[in-house]
Amino acid sequence: MMDPPWQLATANPTRGVSLGYSQLTDQSIADLPIPKLQKNGFLFVWVINAKYQWTLEQFKKWGYEFVDEIVWVKVTNSRRLAKSHGFYLQHAKEVCLVGRRGEKPPGMSDKAVGSDIIFAPRRGQSQKPTEIYELIEEMVPGGKYLEIFARKNNLRDYWVSVGNE
């Protein structure tokens, strides 16, 4: 799984939002040696709207087939939509694209598991819901799990976490 530090490309890219991390160009992300990491398995990539199509094209270049997407609907503690910044609309969701490479990984169930929608509270900056980790672990029990661009607030047992923090 990865949550790339996308480079925002507008005249005023952060529009008053403090990102708190360095951004990477599309080429820097494309140059990651993702195909060397696995022959058979899944790649989960969190995307911003502007990088949705780019990521689908990158899946092909890395040798992955797009198979699904997961939508995280961000809610407050009182279960209301947690709207935040967006370019045209206020965003209350994040999307994670799912690609598959090769055969299904060992241990993977033949049945669909979980849901493609996660309702979970918004937490710290770039902090993903624990439900995404649980879903991946349920899809491939006993698998090998790697998070690229991990942050301290996303550390999880049995996962290898790679990132600036």
What pLDDT shows up at residue 91?
80
**Residue 87, both tokens:** 């370019």
Query: Does position 48 have pLDDT exceeding 70, yes or no?
Result: yes
What pLDDT shows up at residue 82?
73
Q: What percentage of the chain reaches a pLDDT higher than 70?
A: 92
Q: CATH classification of 26-162 is 3.40.50.150, yes or no?
A: yes
pTM: 0.88
Task: Name all contacts of 11-17 with Cβ < 8 Å and 24+ positions apart.
Answer: 15/85, 15/87, 16/85, 17/85
What pLDDT shows up at residue 160?
95
Alpha helices in the chain (DSSP H): 26-30, 52-62, 130-139
> Span 23-31, mean pLDDT?
94
